[in-house]
Amino acid sequence: MRKAGLVVWEAHQAAAVLVKPCATTREIDAAIENVFAQHDALSLFKGYPGKTPFPAVTCVSVNEEVVHGIPGDRQLVEGDIVSLDTGCKVGGWCGDAAVTHAVGTISPVAAKLLEVTSGALQIAIEQLPKKSRWSEVAREMQEYVEAADFSVVTEFVGHGIGREMHEAPQVPNYYSKRFAKDGDFPLRTGLVLAVEPMVNAGKREAKITKDHWTVVTCDGSLSAHFEHTLALTSDGVEILTGAPQ
């Protein structure tokens, strides 16, 4: 899985240099697709089943778009934030990661949103080896986000990952009594999770738009998304989609 994770990491580096005013979301997607082609990596997103198959290798979500934005001719402008989520399969194993970028100079609220959302992911990385069950980690992530007066998206969650992109268990970024009772799971060596907090600057509610893919905040507030594929090992947490060591 580390091989797939490194390709995903490389793809994100190629995309990051294109995140600037006047770049189109399609150009960013093309850069990621090119990296996958160089490594004979299979996109996990392109053709993903839905009412219409997902048409790109990257979900590119701008401003109030939470996840699953479809790349196109939209040009980024100064002050935007843009979330890039992509994944691939190499040698039969999957990697999946997301990051939200600032386009030029962004507002203080947007900057805080990026800091808090990435911070929520960092909390998960730090707490995975220390806690016994996922619900304990999710509670800390949620409390951290809400202390900043932001909201955790609850309609979409992380997931197990391995031979396929979406495997059991479901990995919510928030605590609920229902999950603690019916869906919680122990944190054990060998577990691999795609942990992906999605955080709104306003209320948590989100909805799917008419293209059947793009998810936006119901109140029009900004949203950010960070994700890594994480392996729980006897030595702690390995970030499989992290930079080469």
Cβ contacts of 156 within 8 Å, gap of 6 or more: 66, 67, 198, 206, 215
* Distance of alpha carbon 41 from alpha carbon 57, whole angstroms: 11
- Per the annotation, binding residues are 68, 85, 96, 159, 166, 196, 227
The per-residue b/e assignment along 121-148, b for 16 or more CB within 10 angstroms, e otherwise, is bebbbebbeebeebbbbbbbbbebbeeb
Cβ contacts of 22 within 8 Å, gap of 6 or more: 75, 76, 77
- Per the annotation, binding residues for substrate are 68, 166
Q: Answer whether 67's CB lies under 8 Å from 156's CB.
A: yes
- Per the annotation, binding residues for a divalent metal cation are 85, 96, 159, 196, 227
Q: Strand, coil or helix: what is 89?
A: strand
Q: How far is CA 191 from CA 61, 119, 120, 196, 231, in A?
A: 29, 22, 20, 16, 6
* Distance of alpha carbon 87 from alpha carbon 74, whole angstroms: 22
Cβ contacts of 115 within 8 Å, gap of 6 or more: none
Q: Answer whether 225's CB lies under 8 Å from 173's CB.
A: no
Beta bridge partners of 193: 160, 230
